[in-house]
Amino acid sequence: MNQFIQTDPWMLVEDRFDPARVKSSESLFALGNGVMGGRANFEERYSGDSLQGNYIGAIYYPDKTRVGWWKNGYPEYFAKVLNSAFWIGVDVAIDGEPLDLACVEVLAFRRELDMRRSVLTRRMTVRMRSGAEVEVEVVRFLSLERRELGVIRYAVRPLDRAAEITFSPYIDADVRNTDANYDEKFWEHVSTEGDAVQSRTKKSGFDVAWAQRVFLDGAEFRCETTTEQVRHTAAVRREAGEWATLYKYVGICSSLNHRPEELIAAARAVADDGADAMFGPLLREQEEAWAARWHSCDIEIDGDDAAQQGIRFCIFMLLQTYTGVDTRLNIGPKGFTGEKYGGVTYWDTEAYCLPFYMATAGREVARELLVYRYNQLDKAIENAAKLGFRDGAALYPMVTINGEECHNEWEITFEEIHRNGAIAYAIFNYIRYTGDEAYLAEGGAEVLLSIARFWAQRITWSEARKKYVMLGVTGPNEYENNVNNNWYTSYIACWSMRYAARAVKWVREHRPEAYADLCARRAFDEAAETAKWLEIDANMYLGEDRELGIFLQQDGYLDKEQVLVKDLDPAERPINQKWSWDRILRSCFIKQADVLQGLYLFRDEFDAATLRRNFDFYEARTVHESSLSPCVHAILAAGLGLMDKAYELYLRTARLDLDDYNREVEEGCHVTSMAGSWLAVVEGFGGMRVSDGLLTFEPHLPEAWRRLAFRIDYRGRVLSVEITRASVTIACEGAPVEVVLGGEKVLVEDTVERALK
């Protein structure tokens, strides 16, 4: 654990410069506006250790697969979101000496990321090698209103003498990915025109143009643009104490939204409009846009400042990463904070992120996430066909950016198929929360029936057991590979088939035209296919140990030596670093919630005693070496009233990156698992869920918290929920709504309060 970042409810603050911390802080102080983002690299030259990163959502490169041993069915490439042009560049020199924090003496340094408005500020005082002392203040933001605009104000003043200050704002399009399988450069240069440069991704052929407009107190810039670098340089003289202030407006436009031949003009127009609007008004615009965003999703925690900052940071990062304006976008595991995991889409989106966006950004935004998968349905069918499945069965990829599978470990790519269940569940979860049943007719049922078809082929009949079985899978617990009858996967598969049958029935009954279209397009025979699904469901083998009263994670799980996590030598942890892979596989230790993931998703279907027995059994064996794990256990623990356990588990997620528990934040932040922290607070401690069609709250506050308040968007209204040790209060902005509070139905018109037992 690392307490470098100061605790503050709305700010990330660091108040000293430590070269060893630069990469970590680049991740933590990253900016994003939902369509693009980047690491908190310094604008000026920095010759120390740094990881440059500027990313544009959905602009990817298909990096040729690298494997040790090829397996049939592996994809040809891994699509990676690219490190793109370094648009923030501002080289600075004082009397000709470059400003470079690795070379000068840093007398004072303070960096703040204001989460309320997504603005990054850096103030510092340095002593140059010449002896000159200089103060610097840099403000940077990516406009939330103007998705193609980046803004920088770079101010410098000499403190102890007059000095000539040279500014060289630039855009450098000659960039590479650190993570490149064959050390290739992914971009090729298209053209450069003085203030703008255009590049094209190799193979995938996306074009992007960057253009800058720069202003410096009326000084004249001379253009020093080279092939892949746009650069303007100007120098001004300042007396001691006098500021020289550079403004830089950068337009970043891609062929996702413009014709390639118009890109440079578009980027210039964005930069010009930004310059015309001017820095101050743009900053206010940014404040207002972010205030509106926070209005429906803030969480307040009284009595636990670290938790307060932690959860705000999670919400803030999620808001920076995805805003639901474009169905081609999704949520990469590291968001816009690093290259790792290629910026591509995992089942994290459906299992963890969707509930957050649903409850904070509203139906439209959440629906975009469903449409993303709907648009990729044909690719999912192709993907399944590559593996030998027929007749329109769909297997969604483990990792994707355009619908094609990218991952290449057979035990995951081909076997971690529960992701298909998460994608089906997301549709159910979305409709349950938003009430938007019509979505079934507008894509939902089509996805569901294609997934059900996959399960119906993937599940096979065991003549030996006289039951249906599912062989050769990897469950959410990736510390087991190629197992038979993983309970979670089998359960969600059966559930998917039942739900698909209900979904197509709903479409038939409510939207006959859509139904006819669906049957025709997908060659769907409802009677025959749903009968098969339900027959499989009725005869499916689901492992259970009656003596222990638990569901069996998979066949043979109880054959393992049953050692508990508490009895593991701490020197052996984390086992994923200390043990060989086979030893991990043979052990009973669980990487992340597996049976418990199922009990979490389907908790209305199990009684408390069952939940408790399974929780006690599996929590004792779970090492939580995935950032997606503790939140699920925390929610279940809170529901079971195991508050110490719940709080302990919650702490493992909420400040994971801020305190850099795993010593890896320099690679980027765990963005998707931040949604898990939100779930732990709202669903765990807030006890919120939708049950029997009603929004329900059963709050359980951790010992340390005096008050928890959160806001959610629920079917078009904003509900403010405030929980103290004594009571729960709900205020409603918008149409009255019936909720369940402490087991009792209540109509919330304005505000209701209920005492807590």
Q: Which residues form the catalytic set?
A: 478
Closest CB to its own copies among 243 and 581? 581
Asked whether 449 and 391 are in contact (CB, 8 A), the reply is: no
Judged by CB under 8 A, does residue 108 bind its own copies? no
Closest CB to its own copies among 242 and 555? 555
Nearest in space to 271 (alpha carbons), one of 288, 286, 295, 250: 250
SS3 594: coil
Piece in contact with its own copies (CB under 8 A), picked from 68-76, 143-151, 695-703, 730-738: 68-76
Closest CB to its own copies among 14 and 405? 405
Closest CB to its own copies among 466 and 757? 466
Q: Is 402 left (phi over 0), alpha (psi -120 to 50) or beta?
A: alpha
Piece in contact with its own copies (CB under 8 A), picked from 242-250, 267-275, 338-346, 482-490: 482-490
Judged by CB under 8 A, does residue 471 bind its own copies? yes
Q: How far, in Å, CA of 130 to CA of 144, rounded?
A: 41
Provide DSSP, 62-98.
EEEP--SS--TT--SEEEEEPP--BTT-EEEEETTEE
Judged by CB under 8 A, does residue 569 bind its own copies? no
Asked whether 629 and 593 are in contact (CB, 8 A), the reply is: yes
N-to-C CA span, the chain? 36
Q: How far, in Å, CA of 681 to CA of 709, rounded?
A: 10
Judged by CB under 8 A, does residue 381 bind its own copies? no
Judged by CB under 8 A, does residue 744 bind its own copies? no
Closest CB to its own copies among 256 and 471? 471
Judged by CB under 8 A, does residue 620 bind its own copies? no
Q: How far is the CB of 20 from its own copies (least distance, A)?
A: 25
Piece in contact with its own copies (CB under 8 A), picked from 137-145, 370-378, 554-562, 681-689: 554-562
Position among 1, 218, 280, 463 found at the interface with its own copies (CB under 8 A): 463
Judged by CB under 8 A, does residue 6 bind its own copies? no
Judged by CB under 8 A, does residue 103 bind its own copies? no
Closest CB to its own copies among 10 and 618? 618
Judged by CB under 8 A, does residue 584 bind its own copies? yes
> What is the size of the binding site for its own copies (CB under 8 A)?
48
Q: How far is the CB of 494 from its own copies (least distance, A)?
A: 17
Judged by CB under 8 A, does residue 562 bind its own copies? yes
DSSP conformational letter for 591: S
Position among 45, 586, 707, 715 found at the interface with its own copies (CB under 8 A): 586
Position among 301, 469, 507, 601 found at the interface with its own copies (CB under 8 A): 469
Judged by CB under 8 A, does residue 191 bind its own copies? no
SS3 305: helix
Q: How far is the CB of 412 from its own copies (least distance, A)?
A: 8
SS3 205: coil
Supply φ then ψ for residue 283, to 5 degrees.
Answer: -65, -40
Judged by CB under 8 A, does residue 555 bind its own copies? yes
SS3 488: helix
Q: How far is the CB of 177 from its own copies (least distance, A)?
A: 17
Judged by CB under 8 A, does residue 243 bind its own copies? no
Q: How far, in Å, CA of 680 to CA of 636, rounded?
A: 9
Piece in contact with its own copies (CB under 8 A), picked from 52-60, 329-337, 460-468, 715-723: 460-468
How crowded is residue 521: how many other Cβ atoms within 10 Å of its Cβ?
A: 10
Q: How far, in Å, CA of 60 to CA of 228, rounded?
A: 19
How crowded is residue 547: how many other Cβ atoms within 10 Å of its Cβ?
A: 7
Q: How far, in Å, CA of 755 to CA of 757, rounded?
A: 7
Q: Which residues, in sequence order, are CB contacts of 193 under 8 Å at separation 6+?
A: 264
Reading the block at residue 230, the tokens are 């746009």
Q: Which residues, in sequence order, are CB contacts of 722 under 8 Å at separation 6+?
A: 707, 708, 709, 728, 729, 730, 731
How distant, in Å, are the alpha carbons of 35, 54, 69, 206, 266 from that of 85?
15, 7, 34, 13, 17
Judged by CB under 8 A, does residue 46 bind its own copies? no
Closest CB to its own copies among 68 and 693? 68
Asked whether 599 and 636 are in contact (CB, 8 A), the reply is: yes
Closest CB to its own copies among 7 and 462? 462
CA 410 from centroid of its chain's CA atoms: 25
Type of residue numbered 492? I
How distant, in Å, are the alpha carbons of 296, 597, 598 from that of 357?
11, 20, 21
DSSP conformational letter for 557: G
Position among 19, 20, 291, 461 found at the interface with its own copies (CB under 8 A): 461
Q: How far is the CB of 541 from its own copies (least distance, A)?
A: 9
Closest CB to its own copies among 237 and 583? 583
Judged by CB under 8 A, does residue 48 bind its own copies? no
Q: How far, in Å, CA of 163 to CA of 95, rounded?
A: 6
Piece in contact with its own copies (CB under 8 A), picked from 23-31, 215-223, 575-583, 734-742: 575-583
Position among 145, 521, 538, 581 found at the interface with its own copies (CB under 8 A): 581
Judged by CB under 8 A, does residue 66 bind its own copies? yes
Closest CB to its own copies among 100 and 415? 415
How distant, in Å, are the alpha carbons of 120, 144, 723 from that of 290?
14, 8, 25
Residues 398-457 that bind its own copies (CB under 8 A): 408-411, 414-415
Judged by CB under 8 A, does residue 570 bind its own copies? no
Position among 178, 460, 691, 727 found at the interface with its own copies (CB under 8 A): 460
Binding residues for its own copies, rule: CB under 8 A, are 65-69, 71-73, 386-388, 408-411, 414-415, 460-465, 469, 471-472, 481-484, 555-556, 558-562, 576-586
